[in-house]
A and B are shown apart, each in its own frame.
Chain A
């Protein structure tokens, strides 16, 4: 039987120390890479590690990471790898074994890379950043790092207010980085940390904490002419999304006043339909997916949407095309049906219960179009409808909360009439958190007790048979405490992390006690921090220029108070938001 012993192929790349750890944790496949379309690049300079501060299954699907990983590896001299936040069982095993965070491609220590780039998706991932720095044995504070440490750079939506993280990052890139990658890579030709930082600071969009010159948000004007990533990394593990993803449009000018992304990614830029269809065809071949998702902040508003859906469906028999968010209009629902999606459910986001409040947030939805969209959902063959609402919006009162339940009653009646027993209706209700660079940035967060009362009110008013889920109020409090925080918020984040806060976006992992303890250790009250409304100059204005005129934000806030609508500048007049200037202009199909 000895003769049957074959070579042991499975030790080809994984270091022994890693194999030991993998045998002790849940879902070990999270930590070893090996995706379809993984790049085989073994050499390059600088060595870049990109991270999304959440667990692998969430991070791997992040479109920004896919773009940067592809572009850096395929179009630059850099060697780009990835690392995600280890789940607590792995983090504990790593600490016990003294093993440092490794990259998924070479299994080499992340702490030895030249540039460690984090995408900053939302505030509830911030403690994970500290967890990752610590597991990589990289000093938490930029001020404590030396020549042997990587330069830690943050990018993504969180840079709308980078101040709470400023202490932990050496630099931030503000806006869309595609056009600036070569300049960032070039900064690493320098051999010293100090010189690299100096060269980085000269790249448009880069802000170094402590610098008095704010960085201007960068807009990628090559978007419409560039092919999206067509050979994305596809995990072998089941990920959150298993679809070929094509970004059809960037930016949204619908003008919802609560929406940070809608303000941040202006102006709108669209990819031509033929480019979208070509990308879909190539991506399907490279991924083996049987579904295409046309993503953007509001894909129904993409000018070429119907033509793109029709042409993509014709590429392969049985192919489905999904749209992640539907406008509240029967035409949008018909469009989802055109995509072959009628098997499942539709998500619509009225956001608020009364016409008044929807006008205040500039949502532009009336009761009639809502009911039409609900009718279209069930007559199109969908059997499920999920409605998104927010509570705690500025100007909201109890009657507005009761109105959410009344909308659910009307939707349930329509569902029953058309789909009878097969219809499923659910409400997902989140708590509104005011964000930087929006017209509501001066507004007060509703706070724990108001949100608790309104959740109870809504829970009691929602008709039987309608499922309702609420976002955790404690998590919203933390989000509010950080979203408009200044540099002092970094102490709160660090203290919460030291008290055990991790994976704050995961309800089963979120520890409000850790955050409360952190705040009281700093002599503060978490709810009080969350409820502060900044006045005058916003703290982040010292770090970034968002390309959104302050006058525009003030005007929009005023219009919210008088329930006045602002039309989408794609179909109506320019609202002078400040995004379009010089070579940055709206760029739509046709």
Chain B
């Protein structure tokens, strides 16, 4: 068995694929590429492939993580990457493989998002200042299981904005704790509310996710990027 960290893009139509379906699509990509995934034990064995932090439906990303266990040792990782890319579905495209010594169990610490708001940059900037100066920014999350109050001040590490044509590009980093995390939409709703604009989030993009429990790529094995 060998353990791989596979980094992949999600864009275009694939932004609308759920977390579970993305995992299934990657499993299929391995099967199409002729790379056998190890199977779990038990009555109904499942391929050993798990994804990192779920991506909100509708969001693009360029550095998503899949942890996989592959049968045997791979002599030519760049050939494997080429095979995976050729076998991939449009928009869910692996771009690097790092071989690591043991099966990692990554835990997300923080994720950085960007999105476009149909608002004037000055108004969004003022909203961010108001957020920064507030002692609390409590939002209520309602779900079929009940409601929960979250103070976004505990979850948003940093936020920035810049003009983007007529609109504004908003960026922010969400801290992930053991008890969960704020959703990007919750912060965008708050900022839009402060700025007095409609909270329509366009072009949501996850720029990065920081994990603990991941070996430094390239140290334990090979790391090959797509060219």
The CA-CA distance from A238 to B18 in the complex, in Å, is 10
**Interface presence of B60 (CB below 8 A):** yes
Chain B positions 142-199 with a Cβ under 8 Å from a chain A Cβ:
158, 160, 162, 169, 171
User: Across the interface, do A38 and B11 meet the contact criterion of CB distance under 8 Å?
Assistant: no
The CA-CA distance from A119 to B205 in the complex, in Å, is 39
A285 — which chain B residues lie within 8 A by C-beta? 32, 34
User: Across the interface, do B14 and A34 meet the contact criterion of CB distance under 8 Å?
Assistant: yes
**Interface presence of B29 (CB below 8 A):** yes
Interface residues in chain A, defined as those with a beta carbon under 8 Å from any beta carbon in chain B: 1-2, 4-6, 8-14, 16, 19-20, 22-23, 28-29, 31-36, 38, 234, 236-238, 285-290, 343
Residue of B10, B44, B205 ringed by the most chain A CB atoms within 10 A:
B205
Q: Is the interface of B mostly helix, strand, loop or mixed?
A: mixed
User: Across the interface, do B62 and A9 meet the contact criterion of CB distance under 8 Å?
Assistant: yes
**Interface presence of B57 (CB below 8 A):** yes
User: Across the interface, do B60 and A236 meet the contact criterion of CB distance under 8 Å?
Assistant: no
User: Across the interface, do B16 and A9 meet the contact criterion of CB distance under 8 Å?
Assistant: no
Residue of A nearest to B92 (CB): A236
Residue of B nearest to A7 (CB): B62
**Extra A-B contacts (7), CB below 8 Å, given A34-B12, A35-B89, A289-B31:** A1-B171, A5-B171, A9-B11, A34-B13, A36-B32, A288-B28, A343-B44
The CA-CA distance from A496 to B5 in the complex, in Å, is 54
Residue of B16, B162, B203 ringed by the most chain A CB atoms within 10 A:
B16
User: Across the interface, do B57 and A28 meet the contact criterion of CB distance under 8 Å?
Assistant: yes
Contact of A236 among B11, B25, B87 (CB under 8 A): B25
Q: How far is the CB of B91 from chain A (nearest CB, A)?
A: 6
Contact of B89 among A16, A236, A343 (CB under 8 A): A236
User: Across the interface, do A34 and B91 meet the contact criterion of CB distance under 8 Å?
Assistant: yes
B18 — which chain A residues lie within 8 A by C-beta? 29, 237
The CA-CA distance from A10 to B34 in the complex, in Å, is 28
Q: How far is the CB of B124 from chain A (nearest CB, A)?
A: 14
The CA-CA distance from A289 to B25 in the complex, in Å, is 11
The CA-CA distance from A234 to B91 in the complex, in Å, is 14
Q: How far is the CB of B35 from chain A (nearest CB, A)?
A: 10
User: Across the interface, do B158 and A28 meet the contact criterion of CB distance under 8 Å?
Assistant: no
B201 — which chain A residues lie within 8 A by C-beta? 23
> What does the 1/0 interface line of B109-142 toward A look like (CB < 8 Å)?
0001010000000000000000000000000000
User: Across the interface, do B16 and A22 meet the contact criterion of CB distance under 8 Å?
Assistant: yes
> Interface size for chain B: under 10, 10 to 19, 20 to 34, or 35 or more residues?
35 or more
Known: A22-B58, A288-B27, A288-B29. A29 touches B16 (CB 8 A): yes
Known: A9-B60, A236-B17, A288-B32. A1 touches B9 (CB 8 A): no
Q: Is the interface of A mostly helix, strand, loop or mixed?
A: loop
Residue of B nearest to A5 (CB): B114
Q: How far is the CB of B142 from chain A (nearest CB, A)?
A: 17
The CA-CA distance from A36 to B28 in the complex, in Å, is 9
7 nearest interchain CB pairs? A288-B31, A10-B60, A34-B13, A32-B13, A9-B11, A288-B28, A28-B16
Q: How far is the CB of B93 from chain A (nearest CB, A)?
A: 10
Contact of A237 among B15, B21, B58, B208 (CB under 8 A): B21
User: Across the interface, do A32 and B28 meet the contact criterion of CB distance under 8 Å?
Assistant: no
**Interface presence of B30 (CB below 8 A):** yes
**Interface presence of B24 (CB below 8 A):** yes
Chain B positions 50-95 with a Cβ under 8 Å from a chain A Cβ:
57-60, 62, 87, 89-92
Q: How far is the CB of B44 from chain A (nearest CB, A)?
A: 8
A11 — which chain B residues lie within 8 A by C-beta? 203
The CA-CA distance from A14 to B18 in the complex, in Å, is 17
The CA-CA distance from A31 to B14 in the complex, in Å, is 11
List 26 A–B pairs whose Cβ atoms lie within 8 Å, in order of A's numbering.
A4-B112, A5-B169, A5-B207, A8-B60, A8-B203, A9-B62, A10-B10, A10-B15, A10-B203, A14-B13, A16-B202, A19-B202, A22-B16, A28-B57, A29-B16, A33-B13, A34-B17, A34-B89, A36-B89, A236-B14, A236-B24, A236-B92, A237-B17, A287-B28, A287-B32, A288-B31
